[in-house]
Amino acid sequence: MKRRQPRPLLWLGGLLAIYLGFPLAAFVVRVIGGGQEGWNVPGLWSALGVSVISASASLLIGVVTGIPLAYILAKRGGRLSGALRVLVQLPLALPPLVTGIILIYIVGPYSFLGSLSGQRLTETIWGLIIAQSFVSIPFLVVVARSAFAAVDPTLDELAATLGHGPLSRFLRVDVPAASDGIRTGMILMWLRAFGEFGTVVILAYHPYSLPVYVDNLFSSGPLSQAEAPTVLAFVVAALAISLSTIHRLPRGLRRNAPKAPSNAVAPLRTAPGALRFQICANLAGFGLQIAGGASSGRVAIVGPSGSGKTLTLRALAGVADTASAAIRYADRDLALLPAEHRRIGYVPQGYGLLPGRTVWDQITFGTDADPQVAAWWLERLAISELIDRYPGQLSGGQRQRVSLARALAVTPELVLLDEPFSALDTPVRAQLRRELRVLQREHGLATVLVTHDPQEAAMLADELVILARGRVLQAGSVREVFRRPLSLEVSSILGLRNVHQGRVTADGTHVRCGHLSIALAERATPDTEVLWAVAAERVIVLGSGYAQRPADPDTHPALPGTVTDLIDLGSHVEVTATLDTGIELTSRTDKPLVSAPGEACLVHLERETIRAWPATAQLPPQLY
């Protein structure tokens, strides 16, 4: 159903449309019903030609100088950039006559430049171009700067990891991505130059431009003689404005997307090398200090949002400013190389697909992309039939596959994955996880995975780095980190259940949590702070309607509590009970022995499964 717009908005918009459209419509009626005068007045077509040529020359100057300036202003901050923005916009604020007087002081007959040029910078076509470009270039710079600022910076970073240098990224990424805004700025600039009168009449009265020609007719003859040049200006403006509505060629007129080579070639399998990194960076007051790595080349960085995971990945890719960095993969020191020479594949969180490019163009965009290898990855990731589609025609899972294929088509030594499956539906996410795991094993992919999902990290990495607030909380093998988290915060980040803090008794056989005493499977160091845990499968929760199991109270202690949650997950049931001391324990079973939340219960723990280890907030040792 079509959405209705608020009536006040329709009334206000309609009122403005009438205000703008009525004079134009009245003029059209006047011209149609008039005597068609002014078409034979001498100088009409010459003035039109002068305005078109001078405006086009001004536009050329604006394109060559204004677009680079707009890019610099969009990408760089600071006082100098702010001063340049003010300087660029000054001609928009000054009255045209004042602007003309200012230019007279610079290029007039008695100025240094005027004398140097033989007084040819005024009263010539050159003076017309100077006047028009001075007042019109700001339109292009202001609009283009906004367009460049709106371009996703990830696209530029991604292009760097695909081997493109700064100039190539500007021409092949930023300009196409900002093309709509640049085109609009170009049209506005050309129209402003074409219609400029005040500055032109001061600096270059001759040769006549169309606005000056209209002014002369209006001042020296009947109003009807000015109709013809006014009609010409109207038509030219309408044609120029219509160009801004053409965003791209009709699909039938676009070049045909090249077909993938039929002789696809699989990439050479290489053994992943050891990865070691230590990075220190500061970004907008956020400090990052991280060290990690993996001998297998497969490491996952796990942490909550805002912990510095993406900044770490960008630093590894070479697209983030770092205070210091030591990055070594196999026998290569990557920290000394710019991003375009690191041979790293980068899969950003938002996929980073380039607008206006087909799937095939995306995958072969890397400077080292091999079309035959790209074709092989198309087939391997089951997206061969999508090569002529554009990003807007792809589903989330398809975009993720395209982004991964593009990173792999350059045969990278290391692949960086930033939350690669976070935006996907659960079935698609599970499928792509399995596919990536197979690719890691079959093709020797070395990967650095950034994720907040501990299951994903355990599935796709051999080493873990737990990160929070820009600091490493724990690092080590997947097995060690999951079995022995160093703190409750680490266990919380990993989503571990039944991990609690306590103090070992004087005899080292029990751990106390408040007045609760729990027997340990193994003797621990007396009078030390520890974390203790019990597997959910080893926790038995008995409701009031079930007979208490006979058990050794020391081996299977019965702890009173209350059922706080019961979740049937199909394959098993999770029962959560809160003990009278406030400790929460979760049981996982296929046959629950409780009826519903709120029920009084007894919780049995098997002593031989209760583990304890020292609790510490100390950071792991540095790698360098």
pTM beyond 0.85, yes or no: no
618 band by pLDDT with thresholds 50, 70 and 90: very low
- Mean pLDDT rounded to a whole number for the chain: 86
Name, of 36-40, 58-62, 320-324, 484-488, the range with top average pLDDT: 58-62
Cα–Cα–Cα angle for 582, 583, 586, nearest 5°? 130
* pLDDT higher than threshold 70 for residue 22: yes
Q: Which CATH number fits the domain that encloses residue 104?
A: 1.10.3720.10
Residue 488 lies in a domain: no
**Is residue 503 classed as helix, strand or coil in its secondary structure?**
strand
Among the three residues 456, 483, 510, which one is the final residue of a domain in this structure?
483
Tell me how crowded residue 324 is: count the other CB atoms within 10 A of its CB: 10
Same domain, 34 and 166: yes
DSSP letter for 95, please.
-
- pLDDT at 205 (0 to 100): 85
Residue 201 lies in a domain: yes
Nearest to 291 by CA among 484, 464, 456: 464
177 band by pLDDT with thresholds 50, 70 and 90: very high
Using a 10 angstrom Cβ sphere, with 0-12 exposed, 13-18 middle and 19 or more buried, the burial of residue 572 is: middle
Tokens representing residue 44 in the block = 């009409």
The partner residues of 468 in beta bridges, in order of sequence, read 471
* pLDDT higher than threshold 80 for residue 591: yes
- Domain hosting residue 120, numbered range: 13-243
* pLDDT higher than threshold 60 for residue 254: no
**Alpha-carbon gap, residue 25 to 234, rounded angstroms:** 12
Nearest to 35 by CA among 222, 224, 213, 216: 224
Residue 622 lies in a domain: no
**Is residue 262 classed as helix, strand or coil in its secondary structure?**
coil
35 band by pLDDT with thresholds 50, 70 and 90: low
Same domain, 314 and 369: yes
Average confidence (pLDDT) over 240-245 = 79
Tokens representing residue 308 in the block = 């510095």
Q: Are 527 and 504 in contact (CB under 8 A)?
A: yes
**Alpha-carbon gap, residue 102 to 465, rounded angstroms:** 63
Least confident range of 4-18, 235-249, 308-322: 235-249
Among the three residues 451, 483, 515, which one is the final residue of a domain in this structure?
483
Q: Taking the C-alpha atoms of 56, 59, 63 and 69 in order, what is their torsion angle to the nearest 10 degrees?
A: 170
Higher confidence at residue 13 or residue 74? 74
Query: pLDDT by residue (tens digit) across 398-417?
Result: 998 899 999 999 999 899 99
Same domain, 520 and 465: no
187 band by pLDDT with thresholds 50, 70 and 90: very high
How far are the Cα atoms of 155, 352, 403, 421, 434 from residue 347, in angstroms, in the given order?
Answer: 11, 8, 6, 11, 17
620 band by pLDDT with thresholds 50, 70 and 90: very low
Among the three residues 225, 243, 261, which one is the final residue of a domain in this structure?
243
Same domain, 321 and 455: yes
Using a 10 angstrom Cβ sphere, with 0-12 exposed, 13-18 middle and 19 or more buried, the burial of residue 403 is: buried
271 band by pLDDT with thresholds 50, 70 and 90: confident
Average confidence (pLDDT) over 324-349 = 90
**Alpha-carbon gap, residue 9 to 437, rounded angstroms:** 54
The full 3-state SS of 316-373, as one line of letters, equals HHCCCCCCEEEEEECCEEHHHCCHHHCCEEEECCCCCCCCCCCHHHHHCCCCCCCHHH
**Is residue 605 classed as helix, strand or coil in its secondary structure?**
strand
- pLDDT at 553 (0 to 100): 57
| β 463-468/298-302 pair status | parallel
Q: Which CATH number fits the domain that encloses residue 409?
A: 3.40.50.300
Sign of CA dihedral 288, 293, 297, 301: negative
**Alpha-carbon gap, residue 443 to 272, rounded angstroms:** 9
363 band by pLDDT with thresholds 50, 70 and 90: very high
Same domain, 314 and 359: yes
Q: Are 231 and 245 in contact (CB under 8 A)?
A: no
Average confidence (pLDDT) over 180-206 = 92
Tokens representing residue 74 in the block = 């969009």
Residue 619 lies in a domain: no
Q: Which CATH number fits the domain that encloses residue 596?
A: 2.40.50.140
Higher confidence at residue 255 or residue 563? 563
**Alpha-carbon gap, residue 219 to 207, rounded angstroms:** 18
Expressed in angstroms, the distance from the first to the final Cα of the chain is 63
Tokens representing residue 595 in the block = 């009826």
* pLDDT higher than threshold 70 for residue 5: no
How far are the Cα atoms of 67, 329, 335, 490 from residue 276, in angstroms, in the given order?
Answer: 41, 7, 11, 22
Tell me how crowded residue 165 is: count the other CB atoms within 10 A of its CB: 14
Same domain, 369 and 345: yes
Higher confidence at residue 607 or residue 306? 306
User: Number of structural domains, the chain?
Assistant: 3
**Alpha-carbon gap, residue 577 to 377, rounded angstroms:** 49
Residue 8 lies in a domain: no
The pLDDT > 90 percentage for the chain reads 42
Residue 256 lies in a domain: no
DSSP letter for 165, please.
-
Same domain, 379 and 507: no
- pLDDT at 184 (0 to 100): 92
Same domain, 139 and 218: yes
- pLDDT at 551 (0 to 100): 55
Same domain, 181 and 283: no
**Alpha-carbon gap, residue 301 to 277, rounded angstroms:** 12
Nearest to 43 by CA among 218, 214, 203: 214
H runs (alpha helix) in 197-279: 198-203, 210-220, 227-243
How far are the Cα atoms of 60, 84, 207, 209, 228 from residue 48, in angstroms, in the given order?
Answer: 18, 34, 11, 7, 11
Cis peptide before 207 (omega within 30 of 0): yes
Which residues are CB-contacts of 407 (< 8 A; sequence separation ≥ 6)?
161, 345, 346, 347, 415
Same domain, 474 and 576: no
Rg, Å, the chain Cα set: 35
**Alpha-carbon gap, residue 141 to 68, rounded angstroms:** 9
Place of tokens 């009168």: 197
Same domain, 455 and 527: no
Same domain, 455 and 502: no
Nearest to 585 by CA among 605, 613, 609, 615: 605
Average confidence (pLDDT) over 579-594 = 89
- pLDDT at 221 (0 to 100): 73
Chain centroid to CA 571:
38
Q: Are 162 and 364 in contact (CB under 8 A)?
A: no
Residue 380 lies in a domain: yes
Residue 455 lies in a domain: yes
Which residues are CB-contacts of 11 (< 8 A; sequence separation ≥ 6)?
none
Average confidence (pLDDT) over 69-87 = 90
* pLDDT higher than threshold 60 for residue 1: no
Average confidence (pLDDT) over 227-235 = 85
* pLDDT higher than threshold 90 for residue 421: no
- pLDDT at 229 (0 to 100): 86
Q: Are 594 and 587 in contact (CB under 8 A)?
A: no
Which residues are CB-contacts of 10 (< 8 A; sequence separation ≥ 6)?
none
238 band by pLDDT with thresholds 50, 70 and 90: confident
Cα–Cα–Cα angle for 364, 366, 372, nearest 5°? 40
Which residues are CB-contacts of 423 (< 8 A; sequence separation ≥ 6)?
349, 396
